[in-house]
Homo-oligomer: A and B are copies of this chain.
Amino acid sequence: MARRLAELNTPCLVLDRRRMQSNIKRMAQRAASLGVALRPHLKTCKSLEIGAYLAPGKKRVTVSTLREAEYFADGGFRDILYAVSIAPARLPAVARLNAAGARVQVLLDNPEAVRQLALSAADLGCGFEAWIEVDVDGHRAGLEPEDPQLVELGRGLQSASGIELRGVMTHAGGSYNCRNMPELEAHAEQERQRCVAAAGRLRAAGIRCPGVSVGSTPTALAAARLDGVTELRAGVYVFFDLFQAGLGVCRVEDIALSVLTTVISHKKSHRRLIIDAGGLALSKDRSTAGQALDCGYGLVARAADGRVVSGLSVSKVNQEHGMIELAHVSDFDAYPVGSQLRILPNHACMTAAAYEGYSVLDSDDRVVERWSRCSGW
């Protein structure tokens, strides 16, 4: 039987299923219209139930930790790209997952990782599928398409026994510094061109490179074309968040995830409402601080229907306290001690990580399901 929000222990994660489904549909249509496969990233949701919405066939997904790979493989997911540079010590665990049929693919961008991968394949008597990480914007890891090491790595992988190069992949994290859709579209085109160029260099050197995998939620939604790309990866679009809204790739009304919280005190001398969602419940992520609209530690929405309350945000947090400044003392009447609010997150991936699961709301904001999450490493 459906529970009411008021029955939930706070702080907790609430998920608007209708909004989530609409976000998932939008990205699926986008990939289809661009003519590429979608490989959803499960690092945001870390949930079997949500993963099954994102990848209905439980195939072709992305993860960011070994723990996620194990959790989703145990849940029946297959063709899993583990999209963080592989630490050699984790190869035996990857091999175990693959022996059970999971097809976990590793990522690398340096000769030591290639050497260790070949050694492990020989030692363990197994094969590995690998992708080479390409850097398209200096944001994080990967080899630039022009780097001579790219072809060396490709040759090393191709010549190693038991190793199959699946392709090149990139994450255009630099898109998070864009300020509007034209900038995002240009960044998406840079991502596409540079990743396709990397594949071209490998192929020109006689190295088989079937896949070209690009993605980040903003570039996926801004790209005008993806010629030469085989698949698109994105993750945070499943929930969206205030940072994505600030970038302009969703509306605040699309944000499917929020933290349900309880008002625990009125500090009238400071016109300060105190809630039980602090730094641990919301995360210390302040990614909107650099955007046109700084949302503090989150925007405030009504608990009953998730509608944003204009002008209210969480301005300060301690470990278990969140503070909301009110404009007028008379505003306290609307938020009695013991009443609930919802807080929309700056960065859904960081906020969700503090919780063990999701309370799922139907279209009438009734709590109809409880969905799981994995955490840790």
Determine chain A's interface SS by DSSP, over half rule.
loop
Instruction: Please determine whether B338 and A85 come into contact, CB atoms closer than 8 angstroms.
Output: no
Q: How far is the CB of A86 from chain B (nearest CB, A)?
A: 7
**Complex Cα spacing A336 to B356, Å:** 35
- A15 sits at the interface (CB 8 A): no
Chain B residue with Cβ nearest A263: B87
**Complex Cα spacing A283 to B347, Å:** 13
- A284 sits at the interface (CB 8 A): yes
Q: How far is the CB of A324 from chain B (nearest CB, A)?
A: 12
- A321 sits at the interface (CB 8 A): yes
What is the 8 Å Cβ interface bit string for chain A, positions 83-114, against chain B (1 contact, 0 not)?
A: 01111111000000000000000001110110
* Inter-chain contacts of A350 with B (CB < 8 A): 279-280, 284, 319
* Inter-chain contacts of A270 with B (CB < 8 A): 138
The bracket for how many chain A residues form the interface is 35 or more
Residues in A274-320 with C-beta less than 8 Å from chain B: 274, 276, 279-281, 283-286, 318-320
* Inter-chain contacts of A141 with B (CB < 8 A): 264-265, 267, 274, 321
Instruction: Please determine whether B337 and A113 come into contact, CB atoms closer than 8 angstroms.
Output: yes
* Inter-chain contacts of A118 with B (CB < 8 A): none
Of the candidate stretches A6-14, A161-169, A249-257, A363-371, the one touching chain B is A6-14
Residues in A125-143 with C-beta less than 8 Å from chain B: 135, 138, 140-142
Instruction: Please determine whether B87 and A135 come into contact, CB atoms closer than 8 angstroms.
Output: no
**Complex Cα spacing A276 to B89, Å:** 12
* Inter-chain contacts of A108 with B (CB < 8 A): 265
Instruction: Please determine whether A84 and B140 come into contact, CB atoms closer than 8 angstroms.
Output: no
What is the 8 Å Cβ interface bit string for chain A, positions 39-77, against chain B (1 contact, 0 not)?
A: 000010000000000000000000011100000000000
Q: How far is the CB of A350 from chain B (nearest CB, A)?
A: 6
**Complex Cα spacing A269 to B112, Å:** 16
Known contacts A319-B64, A320-B65; decide if A84 and B276 are in contact (CB<8 Å): yes
- A152 sits at the interface (CB 8 A): no
**Complex Cα spacing A327 to B279, Å:** 33
Residues in A239-277 with C-beta less than 8 Å from chain B: 262, 264-267, 269-270, 274, 276
Known contacts A64-B319, A280-B349; 19 further A-B pairs (Cβ under 8 A): A9-B89, A10-B87, A10-B89, A84-B321, A85-B264, A87-B264, A109-B267, A110-B265, A112-B337, A135-B269, A140-B274, A141-B274, A147-B269, A279-B285, A279-B350, A283-B283, A354-B375, A354-B376, A356-B376
User: Can you name 27 A-B residue pairings with CB atoms under 8 Å?
Assistant: A11-B377, A43-B319, A64-B320, A84-B276, A84-B321, A88-B338, A89-B262, A110-B337, A112-B338, A113-B265, A116-B338, A135-B267, A140-B318, A141-B264, A141-B265, A141-B321, A144-B269, A173-B318, A279-B350, A280-B350, A280-B353, A284-B286, A319-B350, A353-B354, A354-B375, A355-B376, A356-B375
3 shortest A-B CB distances, which residue pairs?
A: A112-B337, A85-B264, A85-B265
